[in-house]
A and B are shown apart, each in its own frame.
Chain A
């Protein structure tokens, strides 16, 4: 339990540095530190599937972000903060913090999952009947691709649509310039 508090402290420090620093590159590196600590925490919570996905996506996103910032030569941010915006954001963060404390009181204790309190919860069915019914030893794969395959199809569709949009927006030559050069 102690290690989670230490990791959380590191995460908060990295977040603060990422927000406060002027150098864009060091800000991105701090975001990478946040993601890496997050994947470490997933690993300590016995969720290796999410840990692998988290660290891999983090690496790819960092590579893209560093490549974009360095090649743009905009490594420094300038400009002053407005007073009203600062006050408003502090008030909003305070309200969310107080609401979060109230919500945390209703949560079950750490390490006691909700589905263990109900005997007929869906997760109990997945754990007891997942291997004989789907044949997949990895229960996560059985859930996301068999019991909840429809969700995965929707997720794949979202990714497909966003790739189509990115391809259309980020192309090198628009149709107008192509027509003009002909």
Chain B
């Protein structure tokens, strides 16, 4: 599939940047405004899906290959688990202890500021990476999957 017409390609090359930026905003401000890691990650994946639909699969895979996407996926999941496990370093509260908020930000008045809420923004970023990469992988795999190309007919 070579992609769509020149009009679609031009318009989507402008709008994909804005969609990506909006996804980053949703992820980073997840602890202040509606949204969060999951919704922001899906928007990030949507900008790449727009690329995939307008330019074809080869171009999108050149931008973000399956291997890179799966590395982002695993890195996001590992980072989220590491944030959860890092609570064990700070006392007996343990798993998912919000150590940044309780140890470093407790005395300051950080409400409604970007740097607040301790581990929540970090966990949002990790989930955003994870969800974005994994949903992009799903779309690539489903659009590339051809049942008639498998095994038997190649012989």
Instruction: Judge whether A56 and B43 touch: CB under 8 Å.
Output: yes
Instruction: Tell me, in angstroms, the Cα distance from A71 to B145 when the chains sit together.
Output: 10
Q: State the main secondary structure of chain B at its contact with A.
A: helix
Task: State whether the Cβ of B56 lies closer than 8 Å to any Cβ in chain A.
Answer: no
Number of interface residues of B (CB under 8 A): 57
Task: State whether the Cβ of B141 lies closer than 8 Å to any Cβ in chain A.
Answer: yes
Instruction: Judge whether A60 and B73 touch: CB under 8 Å.
Output: no
Task: State whether the Cβ of A59 lies closer than 8 Å to any Cβ in chain B.
Answer: yes
- Shortest beta-carbon distance, B42 to chain A, in Å? 4
Instruction: Tell me, in angstroms, the Cα distance from A176 to B26 when the chains sit together.
Output: 44
Residues of chain A with a CB closer than 8 A to B118's CB: 134-135
User: Quick one: which of A130-154 are within 8 Å of B by CB?
Assistant: 131, 133-138, 140-142, 144-146, 149-150, 152-153
Beyond A159-B130, A163-B138, A177-B154, whether A153 also contacts B80 by CB under 8 A is yes
- The one of B39, B116, B155 that contacts A135, using a Cβ cutoff of 8 Å: B116
User: Quick one: which of B88-126 are within 8 Å of A by CB?
Assistant: 95-96, 98, 101, 105, 110-112, 116-120, 123-124
Instruction: Tell me, in angstroms, the Cα distance from A58 to B127 when the chains sit together.
Output: 19
Beyond A71-B143, A137-B112, A160-B73, whether A144 also contacts B31 by CB under 8 A is no
Beyond A64-B139, A135-B110, A136-B31, whether A52 also contacts B39 by CB under 8 A is yes
Residues of chain B with a CB closer than 8 A to A117's CB: none
Beyond A63-B53, A167-B70, A174-B151, whether A135 also contacts B34 by CB under 8 A is no
- Residues of A at under 8 Å CB distance from B? 48-49, 51-53, 56-57, 59-60, 63-64, 67-68, 71, 131, 133-138, 140-142, 144-146, 149-150, 152-153, 156-157, 159-160, 163, 166-167, 170-172, 174, 176-177, 180
